Chains A and B, each alone.
Chain A
Amino acid sequence: MLLKYSIRGAGYGEGPAIIEDVAADLGEGGLLVLAGPSGSGKTTTLLAITGVLNNLLYGWVEGESWIAGINPLSPEGFDEIPTRIGAVLQDPDKQLAMPTPYSEVAFTLENLGYPEHVIREKTVEMLERLGLRDKMYAHVEDLSGGEKRRLTFASAVVHDPPLLLLDEPSASMDPWGIREVRGFISDWRRRGKGVLVVEHKLRYFLWDGARIQVYRGGRVVRELEAPLSRGEIRFLEEIGVDAGPPRIRRVKPPTGSSRVLEARGLVIGYGENIVARDIDLYLDRGEAVAIIGRNGAGKTTLLKTLAGGLDPLDGEVLLLEEKTFSRQRIGRVFYVPQTPDYLFVAPSLEGEVREIAGKTGKPVDWITRYIPWYGEARKTSPYRLSHGQRRWLSIIIAYSYGAPVILLDEPSSGLDLRLFRRLAGLVGKLRGEGVSFLISTHDPRVVGEMCSRAYILDRGRLREIDRYRAVELLEEEAGLSLEEA
């Protein structure tokens, strides 16, 4: 058995148990998926069974865990655990520690005491296998999102461990990247290795025979095996796990509304480097429109140009039917970044709301009316709010500034299905109040459930695409199909 654990309880510091009575085992070539809504204890389980929680994070674990014959809960076992596992975390930017792909992969082997000639040989071979050899000495910041994700895999498995642990591998990935992750997992299992995945986007990991443990409130509430029945999918979706195919809802387009934003012949880029050209797009009052495309296609550059953060290289942008310079759009076309933390300026939610009130002249009560969880979280630092709450707050900040257009960059990234639906509800409510949204996304649910139209940015050109086709394309590129899912 590669992995066998039975945890009676585990928590942080001297705090209460975050997970209770969780147990599982995993053999060679097996796949175990821990699924559940955000905050249900999936990542804590991963940290507990690898010994990170009690050996590194000053937490506590009661119970047993064995990984390939080692007990990682003991200090001696924890020292040996890197030889038995490869771990890939959610965000490549938080995982990559070295400046170049070569040094990143070699770092693992150096730590484990491999001789220098073996380090060189294995590092080059692994980079070659994952298509990164040509960029061996490039700075990791010059890699695309997909390349960074591949590099995290390379550095996690270069020493050929028997067990691979993946924490939300689909997060921050476009469908093209998700297909690569899926291919990597299949390949790894074919080689007789075990794979444990923590995910709330379960539908990407539903290979026949995959075992699924469903978490809720720190406990395993159900154990399932793929393929799932309709009833099981419904149950999972109700608790916030993305298990079924994306829906395409009828999103009412605004009626008789005026044009709020329009780009004509826009050329975007940085200096000499043109990212996309001849962009024509429009957005009506109260409308939500999606922009899809690969990581690196230029979606964020387009949003920042429309928001006035970057000057267009050519073309014009009209706001409320008037031609504008970039600086005139700042704050009126409000850009909400993929990392909402960039927007916060105060050490507490209460302070944040006061800052908004001070800058916008809106009463504090007016602002807090849009934050239903304000009372329980007002003393909390905005950086310590849950992912969904931070996303929520960032949209309310934009709304409070009275911007007629809000640009959302990957708003569903890291959100479970339940939080996504709440966010979609908020966007729907604000649309009803006349705010327009332009949303850059990889998520077929955003296109299918939040937006009434969609554009695709591909190979430097933007074109309008049928919403159904956009959802289908995103599914196909991830290696699924709407029918199959």
Chain B
Amino acid sequence: MRRPSTSILFIYGLAITLLAFIYRDPYSLLLISIPNAVAGIYLGYRRAKLIVVLLLLSIWGTFLNAYFLANHGQVVAVLGPLVIREGAVRATAQIGLRLLAIAGAALIFIGGAEPEQIIRDLEAELRLPKTITFSLAYALRLIPLLRRDYSEIMFCRRQRGYRRIAYLPGDIKTLLLPLLSIAYQRAIWAGITVELRGFRKRRPRYRRPRIGLVEALLLSWLALQVVLPIMAGWTM
């Protein structure tokens, strides 16, 4: 089976992201998060393991945040000195499912799209501004570099006696600081290079998006994720 059109994959990912922000009901969130996360990990894990790592870090960060700011209601669990209450669990689940849906959609896009077609298809078929399409294409170029940076930084941190798994805010800072500083430097020079290669002269050539069986299936599945919560009477 051929790969789906990059434009349709992009629309799908964008729609799921919007739904993740709109839905509040746990069943609705479960409907969009679990299938998309499973499909996303299946399709995109090999290309973007880092997203899964970042997702886990984000969920852990969400829990810490919820524990300090929304830990009220009935006691759900007691782990030594930690008393976890209903409010913290609910807030973590709600935000965690949203993140899961968004990461799943991102992984489906990364796994399903042909990297070299992204800039051309989104520009030509969806008429997106070149600055957005280039940023997306460049992000895909950056993923393996970030993965390499991440593994180098983790090893350097271990040599310097920092925890192997960064889970406290201080740990996360020592991980993110070099990661972002190096990515920032790289982005500046990449910007200069693409400008010297005529990026500002770039004029897109428009064409209609192609819609075949694969795209129709994907759009139908998206429609179901919109319609099912309404038909089932779940609150948005």
Contacts and interface: CB of A to CB of B under 8 A. Distances in A.
Interface of A: 47, 50, 52, 56-57, 79-83, 85, 87, 89, 91, 93-100, 102-103, 107-108, 110-113, 116, 137, 139-141, 155-156, 304, 307, 309, 330-331, 334-335, 337, 339, 341-347, 355, 359, 381, 383, 397, 401
B192 interface: yes
B189 A95 contact: yes
A106 to B, nearest CB: 8
A342 B180 CA distance: 11
Contacts, number: 147
B74 interface: no
A91 B195 contact: no
Contacts of B178: 341-345, 383
A342 B173 CA distance: 13
Most chain A CB neighbours (cut-off 10 Å) among B149, B152, B157, B191: B152
Interface string B186-217: 10011111111111111101000000000000
Given A99-B116, A112-B201, A335 B141 contact: no
Contact of B203 (A89, A113, A346, A359): A113
Contacts of B195: 52, 56, 82
Given A94-B186, A99-B137, A345-B177, A111 B156 contact: no
Contacts of A355: 160
Contacts of A116: 205
Given A47-B192, A342-B153, 12 more contacts: A87-B197, A93-B186, A97-B141, A97-B194, A107-B194, A112-B198, A116-B205, A141-B145, A307-B155, A339-B152, A342-B149, A343-B159
Contacts of A85: 196
What interface size band does chain B fall in? 35 or more
Nearest to B170: A345
Contact of A103 (B116, B161, B190): B116
Contacts of A110: 120, 202
B199 A111 contact: yes
A465 to B, nearest CB: 28
A343 B155 CA distance: 9
21 contacts: A79-B200, A81-B196, A82-B198, A89-B189, A89-B192, A93-B186, A98-B119, A110-B120, A112-B201, A116-B205, A137-B116, A139-B144, A141-B144, A331-B158, A331-B161, A335-B159, A342-B149, A344-B177, A345-B178, A359-B161, A383-B185
Contact of B156 (A156, A343, A346): A343
Contacts of B197: 82, 87, 107-108, 111, 155-156
Contact of A99 (B141, B156, B190, B199): B141
Closest 6 pairs (CB-CB, A-B): A82-B198, A103-B116, A111-B198, A99-B115, A94-B189, A345-B174
B160 A359 contact: yes
A107 B133 CA distance: 13
B138 interface: yes
A102 B116 contact: yes
